[in-house]
Amino acid sequence: MELFRLTATEASELMRRRELSPVDLLESVIARTEATEPSINAVTEQWIDEARDAARTSESRFAAGDDLRPLEGIPLMLKDEQPVAGRLLEDGCLLEQGHVASETHPIVERIQAAGAVIHARTTTPEYCCAPVTHSKLWGVTRNPWNTDLTPGGSSGGSGAVLAAGSTLLATGSDIGGSIRIPASFCGVVGFKPPFARVPGMAPFNSDTYCADGPMGRSVADVAMLQNVISGPWVGDAASLRDIATVSGTVGSLEGVRIALCLDLGGYDVDPAVELNTRTVALALAAAGATVDVVELPWGPERTLATAWPHFGAVMGPFIESILEGDPARAEQLMPYTRAFAAAAAEGGAYVDGLVAETAFYRPFAELMTDYDVLVCPTIATTGFAADEASTDSAAIFSKLMTLPFNVIGRVPVLAVPSGIASNGVPTGVQIVGRTYDDATVFRVGAALEQELALWTDPAWWPEL
């Protein structure tokens, strides 16, 4: 197997046994990036010289028997949204072209301190405003499984590079599904942490819908990165002091009760997505869990009506502030950004939205008094075009089964693959836990990963 196809967990074990050089591993992913970028266009910039220095440092630490850091020698790409002081921070927008960050995101500081070899940055849609990844600044990012289609968004570049083999770990962020959508379309694993588990920067550190989180090619990989980036930070008053360690260790699901909801109360789920979700349910039962089909009274219309006041209070004003009241600046924005801001502006009163969010949460909470996790599809459809305009927010959100779990943002959600559709693009499921019960979703995800034996097979990944 090519080195770039190793999981982060496998690579770490090999390096710790002195059977793999971090320098050789980095060179493998650099070469793979060079080979795949003309097809997928998922990287905004590479930091090759710095990465080679970091890989040599890790190699020296392994050779000397020094104390090894949690991500020692592991190649990783950062979502371009997360700032690094002295580096470009352009948010996929012409208005930000050439802008240099003055601060470093706390998760980036933790990743650097943990010994990861950061070698590139990944594309996003403009201001992360779409579930597809294309912009005037960076062009169209494509899905390695089917380059006519999108890898999803807004962490689409991160999903694409993981599937392509251009890195071993990547970061994402999620305010409406932005980690889980590309995890599904790209056949990788992603985790939306519950609100405040992972520290953030103003203003979105106080946004209960929003979370930065890890992406990888196995449940154990994602757990490895999540354990590095979580925990309190002095710059974020919302960040939880409680440390919730997670694990990709596989065990029996005997005694675990799983609620299976196929449509979340009215999403129009593609038959291929439903079939693969039912296959997941059978695998979970084979792993020892009790699985029951349940209903929830949500659906896309209620979900979006509940979420718009929130977006109107947070994301809408954020975009308006960028325009500085200048119509000429608005013309430089992507059509999907303008459409999202316009829809958010009509979202309704924020206080009414808070009341609606509480009512939205109640049936889920009542259901989860009897179950350990909820399992449902991640996306109702099998793909969007790579250049999908994404200007009809209602139509797009009617396919995204991720947003309900941003509305109730204190729940942990692990997104894993469920199979492949006829267009060659993976499908996925979400494993949703009770509020702040991160460990259980990882326990279920690890058991499912072993039982399905899909993305653990080297033959799973796209050839490109």
Q: Quick: pLDDT tens for 118-159.
A: 999 999 999 999 999 999 999 999 999 999 999 999 999 999
Per-residue pLDDT, 414: 99
3-state helix/strand/coil string of the chain: CCHHHCCHHHHHHHHHCCCCCHHHHHHHHHHHHHHHHHHHCCEEEECHHHHHHHHHHHHHHHHHCCCCCCCCCCEEEEECCCCCCCCECCCCCHHHCCCECCCCCHHHHHHHHCCCEEEEEECCCHHHCCCCCEECCCEECCECCECCECCCCCCHHHHHHHHHCCCCEEEEEECCCCCHHHHHHHCCEEEECCCCCCCCCCCHHHCCCCEEEEEECCHHHHHHHHHHHCCCECCECCCCCCCCCCCCCCCCCCCCEEEECCCCCCCCCCHHHHHHHHHHHHHHHHCCCEEEECCCCCHHHHHHHHHHHHHHHCHHHHHHHHHCCCHHHHCCCCHHHHHHHHHHHCCCCHHHHHHHHHHHHHHHHHHCCCCCEEEEECECCCCCECCCCCCCHHHHHCCECCCHHHHCCCCCEEEEEEEECCCCCEEEEEEEECCCCHHHHHHHHHHHHHHHCCCCCHHHCCCC
Structural contact between residues 398 and 270, judged by C-beta atoms closer than 8 angstroms: no
- Considering the entire predicted model, what is its pTM? 0.98
Q: Residue range 344-369: average pLDDT?
A: 96
CA distance 183 to 174: 11
What are the extents of the domains in the chain? 3-301+350-460
Q: What is the pLDDT of residues 425-462, one digit of tens each?
A: 999 999 999 999 999 999 999 999 999 999 999 999 99
Q: What is the pLDDT of residues 395-416, one digit of tens each?
A: 999 999 999 999 999 999 999 9
Task: Give the amino acid at 79.
Answer: K
Per-residue pLDDT, 314: 87
Q: Residue range 370-393: average pLDDT?
A: 98
- pLDDT over 90 at 66, yes or no: no
Q: Residue range 239-248: average pLDDT?
A: 96
Q: What are phi and psi of 5, to 5 degrees?
A: -95, 0
Q: Residue range 378-398: average pLDDT?
A: 97
Residues 6+ apart with CB under 8 A from 382: 270, 272, 273, 421, 422, 423, 425, 427
Of the pLDDT bands very low, low, confident and very high (cuts 50, 70, 90), residue 326 is confident
- pLDDT over 90 at 320, yes or no: no
Q: Residue range 11-20: average pLDDT?
A: 97
Per-residue pLDDT, 173: 98
* Fold classified for 3-301+350-460: Amidase signature (AS) enzymes (3.90.1300)
Structural contact between residues 70 and 225, judged by C-beta atoms closer than 8 angstroms: no
280-297 burial, b at 16+ Cβ within 10 Å, e below that, comes to bbebbeebebebeebebe
Of the pLDDT bands very low, low, confident and very high (cuts 50, 70, 90), residue 327 is confident
Per-residue pLDDT, 187: 98
Q: What is the pLDDT of residues 97-114, one digit of tens each?
A: 999 999 999 999 999 999
Q: What is the pLDDT of residues 220-234, one digit of tens each?
A: 999 999 999 999 999
From the list 98, 94, 112, the residue with the least C-alpha distance to 54 is 112
Per-residue pLDDT, 315: 83
Name the average pLDDT for the chain: 97
Per-residue pLDDT, 143: 98
- Provide the angle, in degrees to the nearest 10, between the axes of the packed helices 438-452 and 219-229: 160
Q: What is the pLDDT of residues 245-268, one digit of tens each?
A: 999 999 999 999 999 999 999 999
Which pairs with CB-CB distance under 8 Å and at least 24 residues apart come from 10-19? 11/73, 11/74, 11/168, 12/71, 12/72, 12/73, 12/74, 12/224, 15/58, 15/62, 15/72, 15/73, 16/62, 16/68, 18/62, 18/63
- Residue identified by tokens 């090894």 is 68
Residues 6+ apart with CB under 8 A from 313: 347, 350, 353
Per-residue pLDDT, 319: 84
